[in-house]
């Protein structure tokens, strides 16, 4: 099992395994067939309010990560997280994001929670 984080704009690689888009919005300028996204669990994405707060530069990545983890504890998100955890235990998973800094994004928080 391996969990990776990659930009959705990067070309797919054979070792990606299941490709999971973890952004709320579809990436601009990217055709759906070119992205090769296998799953798009919108319940795992940060709330619009949290996303706007973080992108406005009002808090640190650590504070964002804590707030995002609290959102993931909600019933719908927790169920989607468990499904993603099961998918990761079955094989390789690549979490895809349009973020220009994937290492400081919600995708990195998800990867850490999944043991990646």
Find how far residue 36's CA is from the centre of its chain: 15
Cβ proximity of 18 and 87 under 8 Å: yes
Per-residue pLDDT of the chain (116 residues; tens, 9 = 90+): 689 999 999 999 999 999 999 999 999 999 988 889 999 999 999 999 999 999 898 889 999 999 999 999 999 999 999 999 999 999 999 999 999 999 999 999 999 999 86
């Amino acid at each position: 099992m391996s969990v990776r984080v990659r930009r959705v704009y990067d070309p797919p690689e054979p070792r990606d395994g299941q490709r999971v888009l973890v952004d709320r919005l579809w990436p601009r300028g990217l055709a759906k067939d070119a992205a090769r996204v296998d799953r798009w669990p919108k319940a795992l994405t940060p709330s619009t309010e949290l996303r706007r707060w973080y992108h406005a530069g009002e808090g640190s990545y650590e504070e964002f990560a804590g707030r995002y983890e609290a959102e993931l504890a909600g019933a719908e998100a927790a169920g989607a997280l468990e499904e993603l955890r099961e998918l990761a235990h079955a094989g390789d998973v690549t979490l895809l994001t349009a973020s220009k800094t994937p290492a400081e994004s919600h995708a990195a928080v998800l990867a850490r929670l999944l043991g990646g």
